[in-house]
Structure 1
Amino acid sequence: MQLTGAEIIVECLKEQGVDTVFGYPGGTILNVYDALYKHQREIFHVLTSHEQGAAHAADGYARATGKVGVCLATSGPGATNLVTGIATAYMDSIPMVAITANVTLPMLGKDSFQEVDIAGVTMPITKHGYIVKDVSILADTLRKAFRIAASGRPGPVLVDVTKDVTAALYEYTPKEPEKPEWVKKYNEEEVEQALKLLTRAKKPYIFVGGGAVLSGASGQVREFAAKMDAPVCDTLMGKGAFDGHNPLYTGMIGMHGTKTSNLGVSECDLLIALGARFSDRVVGNVKKFASNAKILHIDIDAAEINKNVRADASLVGDLKDILNTINSRLPQLSHEEWTSHIKEYMEKYPLKYDDSVLSCPYVIEELDRITGGDAIITTDVGQHQMWAAQYYHYTKPRTFISSGGLGTMGYGLGACIGAKMGKPDKICVNIAGDGCFRMNMNELATASRYNIPVIQVVINNHVLGMVRQWQTLFYDHRYSQTVLADKVDFCKVAEGLGCMAIRVTQKEEVAPAIEKAIAAGGPVLIECVIPEDDKVFPMVSPGAAISEVFDGDDLAGENAAQ
């Protein structure tokens, strides 16, 4: 049947099982929005307050559901406003298709109104990018985009379509969507080498990254840990792939990892990395990282092997498939002396905070208790992000959603809206600092427009907390541009944008506020006012070995000794 290019785009979205898209209209993409209007019962469009919010919402939708997220924008500034969201998805390997429209083909390259080479702009931050100038290739290009986004190591794909292509007629033939692909690159010899390392280790440690979530390997990771009888740590992106209540779990590793995880990995004789990329925030000083250990690295992306940390053995392929193979051949092992040693560390170095006053860790622990650890938690970036990773017990994958690689302030609220659209039966909470919240708080208008019952928790310490913490520790208390002591009233802002607002200043107000927000049935902001000098501990100084992890007690001891 003959359809316009815009109608072909909508039909291809339906082919791929897309039921929700996020975007903002404009001149060049009007034909697509007209086609969406005709299919609004099949594809629900969420009009965000800003294109960046649309990209973050598509990202959050993808992380919560495991499906490909979709965002739309017009040409020029509409397209460039997606860039931060695309880069966020790229750094964390999130499957997303960003569809933009551009000026007509005769106007390309002439500095036309709202013209920009968005494919060129996004080339370094996408798995692939297309410029569609011919309606005859439009459908197949979109199909390729979805397959590429979801195949192998996932990531964002851009499809830029000229406006005349969205208006042109062409024969459309429906097709069944192709399944995502991944290539098995490991062999029997590599499996045998891995099994030898695993069975010979006396002090193994398992290190779980975001690949365990993306591959759907949570069950296999848990079986593997039980067979290995080995302690387990995770990265920010790996949260929920391993049960946070499991006795083998020792918490996060890295700059704000637990002392147990950082010291344990520094002492182990075999580090088993499952879908992790050894980022600088995890590794610290590369030369001193896990210096006593052999390293077994399992990842879907061959480019990650030996990129940051040298591996003694590796397996490249889908983590779920590889662990199924290993688990079927791995005998039940016992490392009682080693696990007992790690448990002693856990008892000696628990996470702790000042519980005499209202604090972010207390708010998060109450949130964990009231939701039974079963909410989807999104965050922005900074101190609150680390506290959310430390003090909420994630028991399932896809329940912690945060910008890890890019560290995007302003990410969380859009992501929370996307997560709630994808998982409407889940309680969805975004935790943000006051600095982050200012960046995209306009998305509260999106939540109120559609009455999306997300809970926005603002941890308000009137400073840029993480940057101030660095200024305190490493810049001799020179607080350059990190104090936010102005007259912004977040509760009034939220109410002005159509949301309920609750201000919390005392510990005893936290639980009633959370319970009221959950029961509200619409978007709610909870502002929690905490002291400006609260710090995230433990911490590793930049460039130091993770074994040099310190906390507030260590700092107090140093100061007393001086």
Structure 2
Amino acid sequence: MDAAHAVAECLKNFGVGRVYGIIGTSIVDFVDALYDYREEIRYISCRHEQVAASMADAEGRLTGFPGVSLVHAAPGTLNAAIGVANAYKDGSPMVVISGGAKRKLYGKNTMLEVDQQSVMRPITMATFRVEDAAKAQSIIAKAFSIAVRECGPVYVEFAEDVWLEESSSEDVRIEAEKPRAGDAEIESVAEMLREAKKPLILAGFGVNSEEGSELLTQLVEKTSIPVATTGNGRGALDDNHRLCLGRAGFGGGSIHADEALRNSDFLLCLGCQLTDVTTYGYNWMPSGKVVAVTLDREAGKKLNYALVSYSDAVDFLRRLIEKVEGYRAPESWLHEIEVWRKSWEQMVENAVNMEYKGFANPAKFFKKLNEALPENAVVSAGQGMHVLYPQAYVKARRPRSYLAATNHGAMGFGFPAAMTAALLGYTAIAVVGDGEFMMTVQDLETAVRESIPVKVVVVNDNSYRVLYFRQKVQKMGRVYGTLHTNPDFAELAGVFGADGVTVSSDSQIEDAIGEMLNSERPFVLDLRISPDCFAPFNPQPSVRM
């Protein structure tokens, strides 16, 4: 068995069902090996490496098991870097396999060579270069172990001339047991909680799983502690639960979630930590004690926490439930939160009632979309002002039903992520801005060729609207470089072989949503909106930021 087949055998044994990539000379031998495993491992050939990386990232987020991206040396690796950084910043497990310079040429600045290790090291949990075919399987096993255990991307580079060298089949396993909190840490947190008058849980990706959601629901129903979520924690507690406040922080935080975080006297971050996103650039900080249960070993260096437990948040939650018997959050605290909630709900309702001549109201569209979504829906989004609409109107009813590139701020994640969700059997809807969609639109061809029934809602305002808005407000209307023209996205979808429809008035919304959700093919809905319409957002902390 050569190294290429040894790696493919390893992936098969680990249960990898898909590899997302773009072929190149440095990996052609591995793609050839994947041909022999095509019944077990589906190779999805993409049209850009950022898309391939984001599709693998989304698989990690949806399944909890690393998605696999395969990229060519140098240009391919550099193209993938944005998607890898998204996974790193959001704590998503993935394994990136790349080609690299041949051993005799390595380090000589040859064609198709950059220092890929140095590029990937700051945005991965670990990097490896394979120059010995005999070590191929053991290094792949290490990569998967780290990705699962530490919840992040791992990079493995193969010298181009290693693939066809003889390798051995080893008995390698994924060793991914996560660290557990000590009993003293659990007791200390329980004691702080029992003393709290204004407790709040901030639920992150580390508890956004089926088991984590079940345990979190048990805890809040037992104690009446309200829950806010991070961008990646949406769905850890059903958005319709009476104690769920929705997302906190920049880019979609609700008034009541943000105010509860700032006014809490005890904040328990489960599967996350406080970041510049959740605190609006550290300008919107809790007033009391903060505890973080996270796998990020750097967390304690960033803020002065009362306690940081470097441990598995789901295990921590399971054991904490046993320690809080008899505790209930004070009703006065819950009543205080309800006042803030009513302010937010009024803002959300006011946006729905607006009318825009010649355009559709996006608030009304996303409210209607939420009402029409089936139970198995997964909504994904990238970055831009358009993400405020699904944050406000689309309810995350179950774990990992809402995906977003939250902490890196990169455009281009939403469409690839939805393609992966569709491959995994979900009704998948990407919510993208027109600027964002034009960065990944070429992979409509991938969706059509691979028969991926992804749905794409393009919130089309012919602008980079976050910056357009800032230029109008902060730069005295000196609009420059933020307005552009677009193709007819519905017609463009047809050119690729997908379905499409244009929505430019409120009267078209319901029929278009029905047509999109009933389509069995890739579908693009061109939602044309005014660049001057406003999504609900929390203005006070946003201005501070």
Of stretches 382-391 and 320-329 in structure 1, the one that deviates more from structure 2 is 382-391
Task: Give 2:62's match in structure 1, choosing from 37, 48, 64.
Answer: 64
Residue number in structure 2 paired with 1:284:
280
SS of 1:250's partner is strand
What are the equivalent positions in structure 2 for 1:216-295 lying under 5 Å apart? Answer: 216-255=211-250, 256-284=252-280, 286=282, 289-291=285-287, 293-295=288-290
Q: How many residues align?
A: 536
What are the equivalent positions in structure 2 for 1:34-73 lying under 5 Å apart? Answer: 34-73=32-71
**Residue identity opposite 2:470 in structure 1:** W
Residue number in structure 2 paired with 1:163:
160
Residue number in structure 2 paired with 1:530:
529
**Residue identity opposite 2:90 in structure 1:** D
- Give the whole-Å Cα distance in 2 for the aligned partners of 1:398 and 1:525: 23
Residue number in structure 2 paired with 1:429:
429
Residue number in structure 2 paired with 1:315:
309
Is the contact made by 2:382 and 2:432 (CA closer than 8 Å) also made in structure 1?
yes
Is the contact made by 1:417 and 1:454 (CA closer than 8 Å) also made in structure 2?
yes
- 1:457 positional shift: 0.5
Unaligned runs of 5+ in 2: none
Q: Kindly tell me: are residues 450 and 286 of structure 1, through their superposed partners in 2, closer, same or farther at Cα, counting changes over 3 Å?
A: closer
Residue number in structure 1 paired with 2:73:
75
Percentage of identical aligned residues: 27
SS of 2:278's partner is helix
Of stretches 122-131 and 464-473 in structure 1, the one that deviates more from structure 2 is 464-473
Residue number in structure 2 paired with 1:384:
386
**Residue identity opposite 2:123 in structure 1:** I
**Residue identity opposite 2:64 in structure 1:** G
Is the contact made by 2:434 and 2:486 (CA closer than 8 Å) also made in structure 1?
no
Residue number in structure 2 paired with 1:172:
169
SS of 1:171's partner is coil
- Give the whole-Å Cα distance in 2 for the aligned partners of 1:22 and 1:348: 44
- Give the whole-Å Cα distance in 2 for the aligned partners of 1:419 and 1:150: 20
SS of 1:501's partner is strand
SS of 1:401's partner is strand
Residue number in structure 2 paired with 1:84:
82
- Give the whole-Å Cα distance in 2 for the aligned partners of 1:449 and 1:208: 38
- Give the whole-Å Cα distance in 2 for the aligned partners of 1:522 and 1:349: 37
1:195 lines up with 2:190 in the alignment: yes
Residue number in structure 2 paired with 1:559:
none
- 1:540 positional shift: 4.2
Is the contact made by 2:277 and 2:407 (CA closer than 8 Å) also made in structure 1?
no
Task: Give 2:179's match in structure 1, choosing from 176, 179, 183.
Answer: 183
- Give the whole-Å Cα distance in 2 for the aligned partners of 1:228 and 1:306: 31
SS of 2:108's partner is coil
- 1:71 positional shift: 0.8
- 1:301 positional shift: 2.5
Is the contact made by 1:65 and 1:419 (CA closer than 8 Å) also made in structure 2?
no
**Aligned residues: CA RMSD:** 1.9
SS of 2:457's partner is strand
- Give the whole-Å Cα distance in 1 for the aligned partners of 2:100 and 2:309: 42
SS of 1:280's partner is coil
Detail structure 1 runs of 4+ shifted over 6 Å in the superposition: none
Q: Kindly tell me: are residues 287 and 394 of structure 1, through their superposed partners in 2, closer, same or farther at Cα, counting changes over 3 Å?
A: closer
- 1:369 positional shift: 0.7
Q: Kindly tell me: are residues 443 and 52 of structure 1, through their superposed partners in 2, closer, same or farther at Cα, counting changes over 3 Å?
A: same
Is the contact made by 1:284 and 1:544 (CA closer than 8 Å) also made in structure 2?
no
- Give the whole-Å Cα distance in 1 for the aligned partners of 2:44 and 2:336: 51
- 1:109 positional shift: 2.0
- 1:16 positional shift: 1.1
- Give the whole-Å Cα distance in 2 for the aligned partners of 1:530 and 1:74: 39
What are the equivalent positions in structure 2 for 1:98-109 lying under 5 Å apart? Answer: 98-109=96-107
Q: Kindly tell me: are residues 314 and 219 of structure 1, through their superposed partners in 2, closer, same or farther at Cα, counting changes over 3 Å?
A: same
Residues 155-201 of structure 1, C-alpha deviations (whole Å, 9 max, x = no match): 1111111122101012223x2632412122x3333222211111111
Is the contact made by 1:254 and 1:540 (CA closer than 8 Å) also made in structure 2?
no
Is the contact made by 2:206 and 2:314 (CA closer than 8 Å) also made in structure 1?
no
TM-score w.r.t. length of structure 2: 0.94
**Residue identity opposite 2:190 in structure 1:** L
- Give the whole-Å Cα distance in 2 for the aligned partners of 1:436 and 1:243: 29
TM-score w.r.t. length of structure 1: 0.91
Q: Kindly tell me: are residues 395 and 306 of structure 1, through their superposed partners in 2, closer, same or farther at Cα, counting changes over 3 Å?
A: farther
